[in-house]
Amino acid sequence: MSPQQWHALADALLRLEQGLRAQGLWSHRRPAAERLNSQAPFCVDTLDFEQWLQWVFIPRLALLINQQGRLPAECNILPMAQEAWAPLGRRAQPLLESVAEVDRLASLLVHR
């Protein structure tokens, strides 16, 4: 895995964060610890999808990128993003594109 691939994934993750901020979906308050420790996929029982991205997914993936650690075998969060952000209509498109890019780049790094 080349440094350029890791940098591309980091850039895609940053674009996702910027998109969440631009859409007003970035929170300034950290959820309670018990809400972050859900065993349900995407913490669907305790967090909104964008909260999960902000407080669980983005920090974990950023740590793996910084350490050039082992990525999960499957990222594939786009279907959940599509469902969660369906009420946003067209406003969701840039966010969905960012999520798709993170999925794609993470998959490339895993399967090399």
Q: How far is CA 104 from the centre of its chain?
A: 12
In tens, the pLDDT along 97-112 reads 999 999 999 888 775 5
pLDDT band at 72 (very low <50, low <70, confident <90, very high): confident
Q: Give the side-chain half-sphere CA count within 13 A for 27.
A: 14
Q: What share of the chain is helix, strand, coil (3-state, %, to 5)?
A: 70, 0, 30
Nearest one of 109, 83, 110 to 95, comparing CA atoms: 83
CB of 95 closer than 8 Å to CB of 20: yes
Across the range 87-95, mean pLDDT stands at: 95
Q: What is the pLDDT of residues 22-69, one digit of tens each?
A: 999 999 999 999 999 999 989 999 999 999 999 999 999 999 999 988
Specify the pLDDT at position 111.
Answer: 59
pLDDT at 1: 65
Which band of pLDDT confidence, cut at 50, 70 and 90, is reported for residue 84?
very high
Model's pTM, two decimal places?
Answer: 0.91
Residue 95: C-alpha distances to residues 4, 32, 98 (Å): 23, 25, 5
pLDDT of residue 68: 84
pLDDT for the residue numbered 107: 87
Please provide the distance, in angstroms rounded to a whole number, between the alpha carbons at the two ends of the chain. Answer: 7
pLDDT (average), residues 4-17: 94
Residue from 32, 7, 8 nearest 43 by CA: 32
